[in-house]
Amino acid sequence: MKNIPFFKSLAYLWALCMPALAWAQYNINYTETGIISYYPYKFNRTTASGEVFNSEDMVAGHKKIPFNSKVRVTNLNNNKSVVVRVNDRGPYAYGRIMDLSEAAARKIDLLATGTAKAKIEIIEEPAGITSSAKDKERDNKPRLTSPAPNEGNFITGFTYSQWGTAKNPEGITHQVGSFLELVQAQQQCKRLEALGFRSDPVFIQAGWQTNKKVFNVLIGEFKTREESEALKKRLQNALGAKNVWTKKH
């Protein structure tokens, strides 16, 4: 058998281990230092975890830290700290490591400056989630089965299928998510399918919210609110009442 050079063997093993290491690093005592900011909006935005955002909750967004992790955030300008729960993804502004709710930002005097250098530290992992459970949760996340269209093809004010085909729905619909990234909206569409909402039309509507482009996930197309009630109740049972609101197309 052909011998594999020693350094190539090490590189191969490192490549195999990297996914597990990347997931495992976000546990208790993980620390990170960088620029933090806070959300400019208050209510009625669905976070990446599926919760409706509330600016008075002690919550935050991070690109990788698992949802429901408790994180201590210390403003290095004044050494004031606050503990938040991660329930969202982001921030997507270059160089920033975390977005805080307004209530959390108020605790560490972040409102006046808007941004600050901070240290974040995981102090509590999600309750009852072991490493194997995390791996299972990661593996069971909805995956896109077709190439995603370019976000630029989704023009604000217009409605599309999840794959970018222009649609012109009319009447009453239910909004079940608002996302900053198209791929997140598409994952929500897949989640609806997995929950059994395969026969109901699902749309992605591009819009603006506090000067940011958002992708709203809509489901259903009814002439009246009365006709839409049965679907609304099913959605509330599946997603939680606070994550469903009714609107006109």
Domain containing residue 157: CATH number: 3.30.70.1070
pLDDT bracket for residue 241 (50, 70, 90):
confident
**Residue 63 sits in the same domain as residue 104:** yes
Last residue of a domain, one of 136, 170, 191: 136
**Residue 129 sits in the same domain as residue 29:** yes
**Residue 132 sits in the same domain as residue 150:** no
Question: For the residues 194-219, what does the mean pLDDT come to?
Answer: 88
Total domains in the fold of the chain: 2
**Residue 88 sits in the same domain as residue 180:** no
Residue 230 has pLDDT above 70, yes or no: yes
Would you state the pLDDT for residue 85? 93
Assess if residue 20 is contained within a domain: no
pLDDT bracket for residue 110 (50, 70, 90):
very high
Predicted TM-score (pTM) of the model is 0.47
**Residue 73 sits in the same domain as residue 155:** no
**Residue 40 sits in the same domain as residue 125:** yes
Would you state the pLDDT for residue 233? 93
Assess if residue 237 is contained within a domain: yes
pLDDT bracket for residue 44 (50, 70, 90):
low
Assess if residue 122 is contained within a domain: yes
Last residue of a domain, one of 136, 171, 192: 136
Residue 19 has pLDDT above 60, yes or no: no
Quote the domain boundaries for residue 78: 25-136
pLDDT bracket for residue 24 (50, 70, 90):
low
CA nearest 60: which of 111, 100, 103?
A: 100
**Residue 67 sits in the same domain as residue 37:** yes
Would you state the pLDDT for residue 143? 41
**Residue 209 sits in the same domain as residue 160:** yes
Would you state the pLDDT for residue 106? 94
Would you state the pLDDT for residue 25? 73
Question: For the residues 149-154, what does the mean pLDDT come to?
Answer: 73
Residue 28 has pLDDT above 50, yes or no: yes
Last residue of a domain, one of 92, 112, 136: 136
Assess if residue 6 is contained within a domain: no
Assess if residue 170 is contained within a domain: yes
Would you state the pLDDT for residue 10? 54
What digits encode the pLDDT tens for the residues 46-103? 787 777 888 889 999 998 898 889 999 999 999 999 999 998 888 877 789 999 999 9
